Amino acid sequence: MGAWDSGPFDNDTAADWCGDLDDADVSKRPDLVREALTRAAGEEGYLDADGACEAIAAAAIVAAQQPGGQPIASPYAPEFLRDGGRLDVPDDLAALAVRAIDRILATDSEWRELWEDAEAVDALHDLRKVLAA
C-alpha cells in the first residue's frame, strides 16, 4: 500500500477505488459503497489492508453525508463529492460503516497492524463517532 498521509483517501488503494466510484454510473455508486463496506465488515479471516482502505474511504463518504459529517475536500476523494458534493446513501449504510470500522480496528487486520501507532487510528475512531450518532 502506497500511503502519503493518514486520511481516508490518502493511499493508492483508496484513490484507485475513488476513481472507480467517479467513473461508475450515478445509480451504481451507492452499491459500490455498500460493497466495500460489506466486504470489510463480513471478513471472517485476516482482513488485508486493501479491503480496509476501500472500506475506510467508503465509510468517510457515508460519514460526510450524515449530520455533523465533515465535507470531503481531499484531492484523492471522488471528484463529484469534493467541496460539499452529495451522494444519496441508504440509511442503513451508517450502521454498516460502523461494523466495517470495528472490523478494521480488530486485532486480525493488516490495516490495524500498519497504522497501530499512528494518528490514523484516532481519525478512524472519530469517523466512527459520526457514523454511530
Secondary structure percentages of the chain, helix, strand, coil, to 5: 60, 5, 35
Q: What is the DSSP letter of 40?
A: H
Q: What is the DSSP letter of 3?
A: B
Predicted confidence band at 3 (pLDDT cuts at 50, 70, 90)? low
Per-residue confidence at 38, pLDDT binned at 50, 70, 90? very high
- For the cut 70, the answer to whether the pLDDT of residue 1 exceeds it is no
Query: For the residues 5-11, what does the mean pLDDT come to?
Result: 87
Query: Which pLDDT score, from 0 to 100, does residue 76 have?
Result: 93
Q: Name the pLDDT band for 128 (thresholds 50, 70, 90).
A: very high
Q: How far apart are CA 40 and CA 112, in angstroms?
A: 13
Span 57-86, mean pLDDT?
91
Query: What are the residue boundaries of the structural domains of the chain, listed by start?
Result: 12-132
Q: Dig out the grid coordinates for 61 from the structure.
A: 463518504
pTM for this entry: 0.93
